Amino acid sequence: MDIVCKLAGKFSYILDFIARWFVVALMVLVVGNVITRLFGSPIQGTIEWAEFLTAMAVGLSLAYCGAQGGHIALEFFVEKLNIKVQGIFQSVIDLFSLAFLSLSSWRIILYANDLKLSGQVSLTTQTPYYLFIYVIAFGFLAYGLVVLGSLIDNLRKGVQR
Amino acid sequence: MSPTMTGFVGLFAFLVLLALRMPIAISMGIVGLAGFSYLVSPDAAYRMLASEIYTSFASYSLSVIPMFTLMGYLAYQSGIGTRLFTFAYKAVGHFNGGLAMASQVACAIFGAVCGSSTATTATIGSIALPEMKKYNYDDSLATASVAAGGALGILIPPSTIFVIYGVSTEQSIARLFVAGIVPGILLMISYMLAIYVMTKRNPALCPRVESRASAQEVFHALRDGLIETIAVFIISIGGLFMGFFTPTEAGAVGAAGVLVVTIIGRTMTWGKFNKALADTTKTTAMILFMVAGAIIFTRFLGISRIPSEIAEWVGDLALPRFFIMLIVLLIYLILGCLIEMIPLILLTIPIFYPIMVDGLGYDPIWFGVIICMIVAIGVITPPVGINVYVVKGVAKDVPLQTVFRGVWSFLIAGILCTVLLIAFPQIVTFLPNLLD
């Protein structure tokens, strides 16, 4: 297996591991808010932080989901073709996906920069939005790395054939 | 090129990318971005891309998905399925095809805790199929009954599909959840009737019939580790129906409750907890990335005016509204055979919802339930019937065509059940109306 593929696999696993704890944090925060609300003092900014935690959990787990083949694709057309043609199609698709993910990552960073410059913060806890948007951009970049690994792997196998 | 023509070119390009096995979320994102750039401007498209991705990921309404998913995977990892199946078998095992019927009851209850049709199918399938094999049940009946039963969770709350429909159409998730209860139970009974008729007509399908368990035995089976989990479900979903919890809070309370119950019952280990978390992040990333892709794609479709053109065209047709509804449902049934349920809902709602609800005046909650019913039928229809492939993964020695051969009776039962809900919409709407 190619070094990029291995690296992307390990890197995406680490990000996913962090994302899992954001899910736990989300559960604890929301349940904590329900309990404290019973006593008349809910946790301020729960909704804002639930949004931030969800955004970070999703952003950081995108790449590992991709590495595990978790993003749904329709199989029934391509799987009827021979292996060589499948490999060519997969390389083309990986190339397109890589371009989209890199472009998205770049544009999300620019969007975060804009929000940073304009000083936009959340209403209740005054938390800057851009921090979480950078995390999402990073997740897209990591997913791009996973796709790059798959592309190199495919091309190498194609040359060997 | 006119905006509408651009929209159709975009749709064609999207189908080509899908056929080439590109992940659906990325296909929708690429076509949506390119189309929006062409019709508006590249700068506006880039801005829309970044902001829509962030708002989809950081949505409080959608944070319900990781919570209910976690609740389901924790229940799945804790082995609740075995106890559920034992209880269901004690309750209905004495009927003809008792094991197959028990798998329907177990699927319905597990689906209520879990919310994922594939996880329900895999869990109950791995428990029920070896049992049915042991008692010489016909492979076709055994596998098809589990595949069909696994889809009951699509209708019985908490259902991920209802969450996605509710967020896409700005309908109350609590009302959708409560509206799904009666149709879900009705579908379960229809499937049990289908099993009864099949086994009555051909007793060779299930050679063994058990003697009836006493009420005490049924109660003991319920008591042995199930009552706590059912109580967690009732607190979580009950709190949502009573307006005490938001959907996200209901999911979080449910997940925390299942975690506490399974830790106290010593059925949760660190490894299982970590696996449940890993499955949760994977499922959540898959769904929310697809939601972001669908929103980008929908923004492009909206600017291309395709949905409004179709709505106008349908409005101009001199056809009764009932006939138009049947055509729409037929389209869903056909698409449901080809596309998985979540992308199907995300892709079609922006087109058909305005026609059915705004144009023809159908109740949005009723329409959501009917769509879920069609989707529940779609997950067992060839060639993409996802539940059939999940069952095949559990029963590796059973050929795929054997499973598909058995699903016909369940398909007929499902379609009859849908017809009933169309003929008597009150079956769907009376419970949510009580919430008002």
Q: What is the pLDDT of residue A161?
A: 63
> Looking at residue B200, what is its pLDDT?
87
- pLDDT at residue A19 in the model: 96
Opening angle at CA B341, ends B335 and B343, nearest 5: 85
Confidence category of residue B115, pLDDT binned at 50, 70, 90 = low
- Residue bearing the bigger pLDDT, B384 or B72: B72
**Contact yes or no for B17 and A93 at CB 8 A:** yes
The pLDDT value given to residue A36: 95
Strands (E), chain A: none
Task: Quote the CA–CA distance of B381 and B331 in Å, as a whole number.
Answer: 14
Q: Is B225 helix (H, G, I), strand (E, B) or coil?
A: coil
Q: Which residue of A has its CA nearest to B46?
A: A107
| Minimal CA separation from B350 to chain A, in Å | 20
Is the minimum CB–CB distance between B58 and chain A shorter than 8 Å? Answer: yes
pTM for the model: 0.84
Residue B241, pLDDT above cutoff 90: no
Report yes or no: B435 at the A interface, CB cutoff 8 Å: no
pLDDT digits (tens, 9 = 90+) for A3-32: 888 889 999 999 999 999 999 999 999 999
What mean pLDDT comes out for the span B296-308? 85
Q: Who wins on pLDDT, B63 or B311?
A: B63
Per-residue exposure over B198-218, b if at least 16 CB sit within 10 Å of its own CB, e if not: bbeeeeebbeebeeebeeeeb
Output the pLDDT for position A58.
Answer: 96
Per-residue confidence (pLDDT) for residue B225, from 0 to 100: 62
What is the arithmetic mean of pLDDT over B67-78? 86
A contacts of B22 (beta carbons < 8 Å): 73, 93, 96-97
Cβ distance of B54 and A31 shorter than 8 Å: no
| Closest to A21 (Cα-Cα) out of A66, A50, A57 | A57
- By C-alpha distance, the chain A residue nearest B256 is A27
Query: How much is the pLDDT for B208?
Result: 64
- Is the pLDDT at A158 greater than 90? The verdict is no
Per-residue pLDDT at B213 exceeds 80: no
Question: How far is residue A116 from each of residues B21, B52, B58, B72, measured CA to CA in Å?
Answer: 38, 18, 17, 38
Chain A interface, best mutation among B289, B338, B400, by max A CB count within 10 A: B289
- Model pLDDT for residues B260-294, shown as the tens digit of each residue: 988 988 888 999 999 999 999 998 998 899 889 98
- Closest-CA distance of chain B to residue A158, Å: 18
What residues pair up with A121 in beta bridges, in sequence order?
A128
Give the pLDDT confidence of A43-66 residue by residue, as tens digits: 999 999 999 999 999 999 999 999
* B393 pLDDT higher than 90: no
**Contact with chain A for residue B22, Cβ under 8 A:** yes
- State the pLDDT at residue B415: 92
Give B384's contacts in chain A (Cβ within 8 Å): 74, 76
Residue numbers in B near A19 (CB within 8 A): 281, 285
Which residue in B has a C-alpha nearest to residue A29's C-alpha? B252
B388 interfaces chain A, CB cutoff of 8 Å? no
Distance from CA of A149 to the nearest CA of B (A): 16
Q: How far is B19 from chain A (nearest CA, A)?
A: 6
Is B15's pLDDT higher than 70?
A: yes
Q: Which residue of A has its CA nearest to B54?
A: A133
Helix B215-223 with B80-92: angle, nearest 10 deg: 170
- pLDDT confidence of residue B209: 62
Which tens digit of pLDDT belongs to each residue from B90-107?
Answer: 877 777 888 888 888 888
The residues, ordered by sequence, that sit 6+ positions from A60 with a Cβ below 8 Å of its Cβ are A15, A16, A18, A19, A22, A135, A138, A139, A142
pLDDT in tens, A61-88: 999 999 998 887 877 677 777 888 888 8
**What would the mean pLDDT of A123-132 be, rounded to a whole number?**
92
The minimal CB distance from A50 to the residues B25, B63, B340 is found for: B63
* pLDDT for B427: 92
Residues of A whose CB is below 8 A from B19: 74, 77-78
A-chain residues within 8 Å CB-CB of B253?
Answer: 30-31, 34
Q: Which of A30, A97, A103 sits opposite B252 (nearest CB)?
A: A30
A112-121, B170-179, B218-227, B373-382, range with the lowest pLDDT: B218-227
pLDDT at A153: 85
DSSP assignment letter at B246: -
Place of tokens 């047709």: B317
Q: What is the percent of chain B where pLDDT is above 70?
A: 97
Q: How many CB pairs under 8 A join A and B?
A: 176
- Cβ B53 vs Cβ B288: under 8 Å: no
| Residue A89 scores a pLDDT above 80 | yes
Question: pLDDT over 90 for what percent of chain A?
Answer: 68
Angle between helix axes B98-114 and B139-150 (nearest 10 degrees) is 20
Give the residue-averaged pLDDT of B147-174. Answer: 88
Q: Write the ipTM.
A: 0.94
Q: B257-287: string of b/e by CB count within 10 Å (b at 16+)?
A: bbbebbeeeebbeeebbeebbbbbbbbbbbb
What average pLDDT score do residues A130-150 get? 95
User: Which residues neighbour B352 within 8 Å (Cβ) at sequence distance 6 or greater?
Assistant: B328, B331, B332
Q: How many CA atoms lie within 13 A of B254 on its CB side?
A: 33
Minimal Cα distance from B296: which residue of A?
A104
What pLDDT is recorded for position B249?
A: 92
Q: What's the pLDDT at B384?
A: 66
Residue B341 has pLDDT above 80, yes or no: no
Q: What is the mean pLDDT of chain B?
A: 86
**Cβ atoms within 10 Å of B416's Cβ, excluding its own:** 12
Amino acid at position A95, single letter: L
Interchain contact, B21 vs A71, CB within 8 Å: no
Average pLDDT over chain A reads 91
Q: pLDDT tens for residues B402-418?
A: 888 888 999 999 999 99
